[in-house]
Amino acid sequence: MRVAAQARDAGWEFMAHANDQMPIHKIEDQAGMIAKSMEVIEKFTGKPPIGWLGPGLTQTYETPDLLAAAGVKYIGDWVHDE
C-alpha cells in the first residue's frame, strides 16, 4: 500500500485491472466486476481510471463496450509490436 500511495501522491496514472483474477469470460457479472474495479481505484486516487488491463489479457465481445460505458478510454490488452 505504501508504494501505491507514493505513486498516487506523485500523480501517476492508475490503470484498472479486474477485481477478480480470472479470465473475463468466466465472470458472470462482467459489468459489476468492472464497476467495482473502477470504484476501488477512484476511491483510492480521487479520480476514475481511464485505462484497463484485463486479467490474462482476456475479454469477450462485450468487454470493450462495457469498459467504454464505465469511462475507460484505452485497453492495454491488445499488444502491437510494430
What does the pLDDT read at residue 56?
A: 85
Predicted TM-score (pTM) of this structure: 0.88
Tell me the domains of the chain and their CATH numbers. Answer: 2-75 (3.20.20.370)
Q: Which of 5, 27, 23, 17 is nearest to 72 (CA)?
A: 17
Mean pLDDT by 10 residues, the chain (82 residues): 94 90 90 95 96 90 96 88 64
pLDDT 10s digits, 17-30: 988 888 889 999 99
Q: Evaluate whether 43 touches 8 at the Cβ level (below 8 Å).
A: no
